[in-house]
Every structure is written in structure tokens, then in C-alpha cells.
Structure 1
Amino acid sequence: MATLPLVLSGLLVAGLLLYRAALPRLLPGIPHDAKSSRRLFGDLPDGLQYAARTKEFLSFLSWRCEQLGSPIVQVSLRPFQKPLVVVSDSRETFDILHRRGRDFDQSDGFRLNFSAAWPNSTVTMRTGEQWRYNRRLVVETMSPAFLRDIDGPTTHKMSLELMKLWRRKAERAQGRPFDVQSDLNKVTNDVIWQVLLGTEVRAVKSQIEYLSSAEKVDLPASVDEVVALPEGSLPEVFNAFGLLAESSTIARKSVFGSWAAQVAVRVYPELSRAWRLKNAIVKRSARDAWNKFKDIDLVDKHQATSAAEFVVQREVKQAQKEGRKPEGPSKWLEGELAIMLAAGYDTTASSMSWGLNYLSIHQDVQAKIRRILRETFPKAVAESREPSPAELYNTALLYLDAFIEEVLRCSQLIPSLSRTTITNTRLLGYDIPIGTTVVSPHHRPKRTAPRSEKPSTSKGPPDTKLAPVKDSARTSSGEEFQPQVNEWDDTSDDLQNFRPERYMPSKEGDEHLDLMAGPHVTFGGGTRGCFGKKIAYLNMRILLAIIVWNFELLPLPDELSGLESVEANTVTPRRVPVRLRPLAG
């Protein structure tokens, strides 16, 4: 009996030590929330309360910086883990992304979150020899030849299929608005699978066929009420890919992090089946491409029609020049094709969703895009057709491109960027040890901005209370980088307004797209910036041009603005209601 008190005492001491070990392990000197430092889950309770109030979680990081009045803070979200270091300063973010590759690499959390569903891809790797090998495998998929000959024509073809579907939906809706967010997911899925693997998903076509035979739609009494149009069943690959694309959110939402995603993808029946289906399709596409082009003597007899074929054809030709045996399909090529599927689908569908919402809200912007398109392509107008893929690829469309930039700035599809330190370093005057994750949240304009085109009297981002960063606190590379990024001029420019012109200098005779007009980094930057950026831009350009050419997106009531958001892998609108009026020619 005498040993029982000793055992209980030992358990109590062990529990106390475990509790202390689980408390946030704060970094010296960096500002933090005092009460959070004494809680097992640190700042997480406050973050959850913020999310319940705003329907967003990641912007909590910006809010914490503003609350503490500092451009750098530390935030703890899980027991036994180092805190996140949050940097809310655009100049420092650009420096980290573009100049400090020796200090920072892709964040460990980001890599592990995607490793469950998308292994053997550059997203899951530290920057090194294997990462560089994988990148070389697919680098030609961002070449002008691939974009012009494969991506552009495929996107154009699928855009026309979407127009067929929307004409039938608009006829059924009889002037009432209907939600097209799922249609944007479908067309993006169709495009990306066809472009990368040569696989026809038929997500949009399946809905055209279903709607043709569907019964009459019950219309709401009010012409301003969204009508629920019937949808048919979708191909298995579409549903499977959607599940996998969202699987990384499991890791972010679970206290077990990436382990939860690993278990879910292997154990949950639906996810496991989707994972096997994705692997089988990617493997088959890589093998078929190899079989088509493996004969060096016949390599020029065939034409590549997908990224898989394009990559294999280029490898065989290069091997022929170098007098070596070409490398066949590998798990690395399969990994890159798979992650490009996920990345292209997510970003393009989300950005298109925001784009249509902004077109409905800003009627003058929509009208200007349409006018410029018709003035730029008079031959297409005369022939009562859409501009061709070649015309849309080769022609300068500055205002449309500026519109895309403004959509990306205002929506901030990627709410934050993260990097992990690979050496002991300094940030804004503080020591940051190796293995620390640094997060840069993106400030975005309030989505409750007025519809009026008149500039508001706001002089900058609302509620911002950050102390200015002293130049003495920056690294030498941060000071050197300053001239290359223009800060938004808050004294003359209202950031809450949606205004594509901010990306176009107004000087007479000097019209060009100024991508450095202000600091927004939707696609990241530097070595680990988004590899598929060129495809995403071209797909958006073609889709938007075809939509505005074929339809007028009529005004909607304020309550249908579509500006409320949902956070997943990207920030997406909760809905995308449109009231479409078909246009001739």
C-alpha cells in the first residue's frame, strides 16, 4: 500500500511535466498573445472564435498581427510543436520568396500535407537534386509550343462546350439567376485532364446530355431568386479527383496534422478508391505516351496531344541528339503529372469563380472587356464566331489581363504563403532558429466593398495598426529588394475598389501591363513559385474571353453578390450566381 502514493505522485509529476512540455515553446522576443502562451492549444481557441465570426480562419493570422500592432508575431496552434512565425509585411515577404533561398525552403507542413495524395512530386520535396530532376522532366509544358499547340486549343474547345451548356441553362432559367460554380469546376476538370493526360472526362458533356432530356424546371416566382437547375450524375473520375484535391485540408484541420491525411487516403474507402483510380489513370497515360514515342525512328511521325505525350516526345528527341537510350516513364513523371492536375484544377476553378462574380458586379468593366474583344477581333465578328485559340494566344489583350490580375489581387486565392527555415537566420530584427515555419498572410480588400465606381475615402487597408518596419531591422537583401516592388500608394489609391486600371500605366503611348504595380503574390515567387502559372493565366484568358463574347452577365441584387468566401486549398466564393443573356455572334 505504501507504493500507491509513490505511484500516484509519479503519475502526477509525469503528467505535470507532459503538460509543461505540451505548452507553446515560444521564441525569445517575438511578440505573442500572453494568454495563449499559457494554453495547451495556444492561439487556436481564439482562431476558432475568429473563424466562427468571419467564416475564415487563415486571415486570423493577419488579425493577430494587427491586434498586437506588430508586423511579426508568433502563433501556436498545436501542442508539442514550435510556434508559427507570422510576417505581415509585403516587402519582407518578397525578400523571403525571391532572395533568401539559402535560408528558406518549402514549408514542411505544406509538403507533408500534400504527400499523402500526391507523392513523388516537387510539391512534396525539399529543393535539391531530386526536385531539380523532376522540374526538368516537365519544364517544357510551360513552353510557348505547349501552350500554343496543346493547352490553348484544348481550353478553347472545352470553353465552347461550356457555352452550349449555359445556353441551355439560360433558356431553362427564363431570365432568373442560376449558380454556375459547379460548372466551372467541371470545365476546369475537363480541360486539365485532357491537357495533361489526354483523358476525356466529359463532365460538361454529361450535363448537356442530361439537361436535354430532363423534365421541366419548377421556376421560383421571383425573377431575382436563384433557380435550382437539375444536374445529372458525373463520371467517376470527376468525383474521385474532387475528393483527392480536398484531402490536404484533412491535415490542416486535424490535431494530428499530416498523419491524419496519410491515414485517411489509405483507409477511408472513398478516398482510397479515388487514390487508386488516380494512380491507375496517370500510370496508364504515361505508359501510353511512352509506347507512342519510344521508337526513335518514328518519333517525328506522331503529334503530341497531351503533356504526358509532349514530355515523352521531347525526352526521346533529346536522347536521340545525345546518342543515349531515352528514359521511359517513371514514378517521378507520374508524380509531376498528378500534382499538376491538382494545382491546375484548384486555382483555375477558384479564380474563374471570383472572375464571374466581379464581372456581374462591375458592369462597366465587363462592357469594356467585351468592347475591346470585338474591336480587337473584327474578323471573328464578321464571321459570327468566337476568336480562335491562336488569336487569343497571340494577340495582346492588356485590359483583360489587367482584369485577371485585379481578380487575383482582390480574391487572394492563396490566403497565405509559408516557408521553413533551413538555417538559423533573422527576420525583422529577431533570431529565427532552423526548422521554424514562417507564414506570410495576404491582406485582401474587404469583400463588402460598395458597388459604386466612385473612389472611397479610405486611405488604406481597414483596421491596420501595424507598427512601421525600421530599415535597420531588415536584412541587407531586404533593403536591396525595395526598389523592385512598388508599394500601393494609399494616399491616392483606394485598395478597396475593384479597378483593373491599377495594373496599366496611364501615360499616353505607354500602355503595358505592370505586374509589379503592387505587392500581391498569388502564385508565390522565386524558386518555389507556382510552376503552372502560365497555364493558369492562359486558361483564364481564354475562358473569360469566350464567356464575355457569348453572354452578357446581367446585374444581380446585392444579396447575390457572391463575395462571401470559403477556405479550402484555395479561397473560393460560396456561390457564383449569374443571370445570362445570350449574345449573337
Structure 2
Amino acid sequence: MGDVPAMMQHMKCTEGGTFITYILKTMKALNSPLIQVFIRPLNKPLLILGDFPEANDLLVRRKDFDRSHTLGDLVKGLAPDHHIHLETGEAWKIQRHLVQDLMTPSFLHSIAAPVIYQHVIKTIDLWKAKSLVAAGRPWSVADDMNQMALDAVTAFAFGDEFYHSATQPGLHAIQHMSEETISTLQHLDPCEPIEFPKGRENYILQAIRELTKTVGEVQGSPSPALTWAVITRKAKIKKAIRIKEDFIIGRLKDGIFGFVFAGHETTSTTLCWSLKYLTDHPDAQSDLFSALKSAFPIALAERRNPTIQEITSTSVPYLDATMEETLRCCGTAPVVDRVAMHDTELLGHHIPKGTVVTCLVTGPGMMTPAFDIDISRRAPSSQAAIREGRQRAWDPQGISAFNPNRWIKRCNDEKGVKFDPTSGPQLAFGLGTRGCYGKRLVYLEMRIVLTLVLWNFELLKCPLNLSSYHSKLITTNEPMQTYVRLRQISPE
């Protein structure tokens, strides 16, 4: 059983224990940036790399590693023909070419952004209705974020013809609550979270969410192919797949379904983390609110929301920094995998062909101090990058703290400050040719959501029992608790 018993014991006995916390604990115990973990019977071990300079070199410069099958195995039952399964070659290039225009700034800003904006505004309306009922009490926003992100990504993928909404049923249910029900909720303990009615979800959106959940069942399985064979024979999943296929045929293939599947889950998880960080760091929240007021003076004077054109065309350095710091800290996708295409070396160790190397997104050098590694153990290209000063590193002091200012640089022009994306290591979207294809869409959605949320609400502290930072690794690394207490505001 390899390391599985030890890992399961760690997760059982450690509050908030996950596969990632087990890996970090093992690395610390062995004092090594490269460890092997046996989690699949009769298979090669996973090699876990906890060092940004070498991960950067492996992902960007080295040709002896390529996209591994690990991530592809997780989604094979949902999108078997998606380009994520392909090695980097002509077939992969052809598939990527088919959808390349979807990530251009012109398409994102002129086509995708307006429909995303409309759905975010609907969520703002939902939260205004909920905050009036809650009267300062907390409630969970994880489902709201997931529904908003699902609405945004389906609008992006299908266009105006897709008129279904995951958010609207909940808004309708809140708006039609009886006075008696509202009164009952408002007499509950003010520290206890409120459970709101959800409304009835459209069957197509429900099918997409059901299929997304299946990835969590495959995550960590010693045999993904066998697990998929079992899952796809369940009556509920067979029905969801049939709905997905019936709807998609004639509209799009697996390449675009990949946006729907991956886009709403990863974005909603990241947004949940951002709300937690801003809630628990009121200084950062205040700085962001001030930056937004300075960036949109006309909207401020007219006492309205910034338009989508204003949001997409205005530089707000502190907003960029807040998004980047959220991505650095949260580890929505906690690892980036690559496979050795032939026998090679890594940090002085022999790596046989076919070995999967897993790079930690929030590991040493990212959220904890880096290991001290003799430069002679590094690959020649990694050594050259360090000698030439091309390698970034975070100051170990305060490295684990949420601090958007680490991405801000002072400048001598009239702007005063600028956002510097090269301030330090970042692995949230991977790096190199096989980095995350949809990262621009994620940044766009985060920009719209954070702008409108902070423009309309103050995020108040929640009770400690609802403010844990423990996570669960399902499809993504989700926070176990995402509660808010909202105070409506009017920027002045």
C-alpha cells in the first residue's frame, strides 16, 4: 500500500490534513526539496518537487519533460477528446489553434466581459437581498460563487442563446420569502449562519455541476480508469452525461466543454479564497476599496457601479496585486505535473523515463522559506538563470502572510505605484507552453467580481468558528468554510 496508510493516518489525525499537508510535513521531516511518494500500487512513485527555481526551469526551459497523464486522467471520463490529454506536438497545436481566439484581449473584453458582468450584477442583487434578510448574520457564499462562475463561463462558452441561470432561482426564492420566514431567521443567534432557500436549478446546469463533482471521486484514486468505469455506470451520472452530450452536439465539442467544466470550478474556488483573505485582512480590503474609488471617479460621482468598459480599460494596480496574491496563497490547483519523456536528472538524481514529477504550487519558496540547495545540483539552464539574476525569490520574512503590497512597486512618474507581476515566484497557472490556457479568463472574472463586490459591500469579520482556513481537495483545493457578513455601502 506504499505511503497510503501513512497519508490516511495523517489526514485522520491532523486537523485540516490533506494530501498537500502530508507532502509538506514529509518534506520538512526529510529536509529535502525532492521526495518520492508511493500512492498507486504497482506503479512508479510520484516525485514531489518543492523548489521554485527548478520547477520554473522544468516547466519553461527543459524539453525532457512534457504534460503528464495525471491531470488528463482526472477529466478523461468527462472530456476524452480535450487537448489536455495530448503530448505537446502537432495534434495538440491543431486543437489549441481551433480555440486560440477565445483568449485574445479583444474577444474577452468585447464579447465575454459584458455577459460575465451581467451575471456578476445578478449575484450582487442576490447578495443585497440576502444581506437585508441576514441583518448582519453570516451565511455561506460557496454555492453563490459557484453558481455565479458557472453562469459566467456558460455565457462565455454559449453566448446570449444560453438563457439559463444558476443564480436566478436563488434570487427568486429570496425575493418570495414570507415575512414569517424572514422574522424567524432574524431571531436566530446572530453568530449562527443563516440557511437560505436555493430555488430549483435548471437541468442542464445541474448536469454540469454533477459531472464536475465526479472529478473529486477520481482525485487520489489508485486507478483512475477503473474509477471512471464505475462512476460513468451510475444512473445519475449516465443521465448527466446524456444531457451534456445532447446539449453540446451541434454547439461545441470537448475543447469548449473544458472551459465550462474547469472554468467555473477553479474560478469560484479562487474567489471564495479571495473573500476570506479580504474579510480577515481589513487593511487590505480598505486599501482595495480606496484604490477602486480613485480608479473610477465618474462612477463614484454618479453613485453607480463602474461599467464593464470602465473595469476592463482602467489600470488598478492594487486590484491586480490583490488578485495575484490570492492566487499565490490559495493553491486552487495545488500541483503542476510533468512526466519525464526519457531518462534524465533532477537536482542530481536519476529520473527514469515515465516518472511523473509533481511541482508544489504553494510549497517551499512560495508560502514557506525555500530549501538551501547547492547550485551545482541544479540543471545547467537553472544554474545560468540564477547566475544571470533571472530567478525570482520571496523574502522569507512574512512569506506565508497574505500581503498584496508584495506585488506593488513604487515608481517616479505621476502614477506613483505600479503592479509588478515579476515581483516573485508564482505557479498558480503553471508556466511555459503547457501553462493554463484559460488564465486570462480567470483574471477577467476576478477583476469584475472583486470590483463590484467591494464597490457594494464591506466584508465584516465572521465568528471564529466559521473562519477556518482548512481546505478539502476535491476537484480543486476548496476552503471548507466560506462565510460572509455583508454591510451594504454606497461609495462617496
TM-score (norm 2): 0.93
- Corresponding residue number in structure 2 for 1:207: 170
Alignment match of 2:346 (pick from 427, 436, 444): 427
- Corresponding residue number in structure 2 for 1:122: 83
- The one-character-per-residue Cα deviations of 1:546-576 (angstroms, maximum 9, x if unpaired) are 0111111122233332422111121111121
Alignment match of 2:385 (pick from 477, 481, 488): 481
Letter in 1 for 2:197: P
Matched, 1:90 2:9: no
Matched, 1:270 2:232: no
1:383-422 aligned within 5 A = 383-422=302-341
Paired residues of 2:329 and 2:367 also in contact (CA < 8 A): no
- Corresponding residue number in structure 2 for 1:192: 153
Alignment match of 2:220 (pick from 226, 236, 253): 253
SS in 1 for 2:417: coil
Matched, 1:136 2:97: yes
- Corresponding residue number in structure 1 for 2:43: 81
Alignment match of 1:177 (pick from 135, 138, 143): 138
Matched, 1:570 2:489: no
Which region of structure 1 is more displaced relative to structure 2, 555-564 or 383-392?
555-564
| Post-superposition offset of 1:337 | 0.3
Paired residues of 1:251 and 1:259 also in contact (CA < 8 A): no
- Corresponding residue number in structure 1 for 2:122: 161
SS in 2 for 1:579: strand
1:299-314 aligned within 5 A = none
Letter in 2 for 1:189: L
Paired residues of 1:56 and 1:566 also in contact (CA < 8 A): yes
Which region of structure 1 is more displaced relative to structure 2, 529-538 or 561-570?
561-570
Paired residues of 1:411 and 1:444 also in contact (CA < 8 A): no
Separation (CA, whole Å) in 2 of partners of 1:485 and 1:156: 37
What is the root-mean-square deviation in Å for CA atoms of aligned residues? 1.9
Over 3 Å counting, the alpha-carbon distance change for 1:548 and 1:369 in structure 2 is same
Task: Name stretches of at least 5 consecutive residues in structure 2 with no aligned partner.
Answer: none
Paired residues of 2:67 and 2:337 also in contact (CA < 8 A): yes
- Corresponding residue number in structure 1 for 2:190: 223
Letter in 1 for 2:193: V
1:20-59 aligned within 5 A = 41-52=1-12, 53=14, 54-59=16-21
TM-score (norm 1): 0.79
- Corresponding residue number in structure 2 for 1:544: 450
Separation (CA, whole Å) in 1 of partners of 2:142 and 2:215: 21
Separation (CA, whole Å) in 2 of partners of 1:121 and 1:43: 32
1:334-483 aligned within 5 A = 334-443=253-362, 468-482=372-386, 483=389
Separation (CA, whole Å) in 1 of partners of 2:107 and 2:372: 45
Over 3 Å counting, the alpha-carbon distance change for 1:443 and 1:160 in structure 2 is closer
SS in 2 for 1:246: helix
| Post-superposition offset of 1:179 | 1.2
Matched, 1:285 2:251: yes
Paired residues of 2:52 and 2:366 also in contact (CA < 8 A): no
Separation (CA, whole Å) in 1 of partners of 2:438 and 2:149: 14
Paired residues of 2:50 and 2:363 also in contact (CA < 8 A): no
- Corresponding residue number in structure 1 for 2:32: 70
Task: Name stretches of at least 5 consecutive residues in structure 1 with no aligned partner.
Answer: 1-40, 287-333, 446-458
Paired residues of 2:116 and 2:155 also in contact (CA < 8 A): no
Over 3 Å counting, the alpha-carbon distance change for 1:208 and 1:437 in structure 2 is same
Over 3 Å counting, the alpha-carbon distance change for 1:212 and 1:166 in structure 2 is same
SS in 2 for 1:566: strand
Paired residues of 1:62 and 1:442 also in contact (CA < 8 A): no
Letter in 2 for 1:411: C
Structure exhibiting the larger radius of gyration computed from Cα positions: 1
Paired residues of 2:68 and 2:338 also in contact (CA < 8 A): yes
- Corresponding residue number in structure 2 for 1:534: 440
Separation (CA, whole Å) in 2 of partners of 1:252 and 1:498: 28
Letter in 2 for 1:192: V
- The one-character-per-residue Cα deviations of 1:338-385 (angstroms, maximum 9, x if unpaired) are 111112111110011011111211112112211221222121122221
| Post-superposition offset of 1:461 | 6.0
Paired residues of 1:120 and 1:336 also in contact (CA < 8 A): yes
Letter in 2 for 1:564: H
| Post-superposition offset of 1:80 | 0.9
Letter in 1 for 2:26: R
Which region of structure 1 is more displaced relative to structure 2, 115-124 or 524-533?
115-124
Over 3 Å counting, the alpha-carbon distance change for 1:573 and 1:467 in structure 2 is closer
| Post-superposition offset of 1:508 | 4.4
Separation (CA, whole Å) in 1 of partners of 2:219 and 2:138: 35
| Post-superposition offset of 1:467 | 5.6
Matched, 1:233 2:200: yes
SS in 2 for 1:159: helix
Letter in 1 for 2:447: R
Separation (CA, whole Å) in 2 of partners of 1:209 and 1:427: 56
1:7-26 aligned within 5 A = none
Paired residues of 1:556 and 1:579 also in contact (CA < 8 A): yes
Paired residues of 2:329 and 2:362 also in contact (CA < 8 A): no
- The one-character-per-residue Cα deviations of 1:263-312 (angstroms, maximum 9, x if unpaired) are 412x11111111121222222324xxxxxxxxxxxxxxxxxxxxxxxxxx
Q: How many residues align?
A: 479
| Post-superposition offset of 1:507 | 4.7
| Post-superposition offset of 1:460 | 9.8
Over 3 Å counting, the alpha-carbon distance change for 1:539 and 1:51 in structure 2 is same
Letter in 1 for 2:8: L
Over 3 Å counting, the alpha-carbon distance change for 1:120 and 1:581 in structure 2 is same
Paired residues of 1:360 and 1:555 also in contact (CA < 8 A): yes
Separation (CA, whole Å) in 2 of partners of 1:507 and 1:391: 24
Separation (CA, whole Å) in 2 of partners of 1:471 and 1:258: 40
| Post-superposition offset of 1:238 | 2.2
Paired residues of 1:347 and 1:413 also in contact (CA < 8 A): yes
Separation (CA, whole Å) in 1 of partners of 2:433 and 2:327: 21
Letter in 1 for 2:164: V
| Post-superposition offset of 1:444 | 5.6
| Post-superposition offset of 1:128 | 1.6
Separation (CA, whole Å) in 1 of partners of 2:385 and 2:211: 38
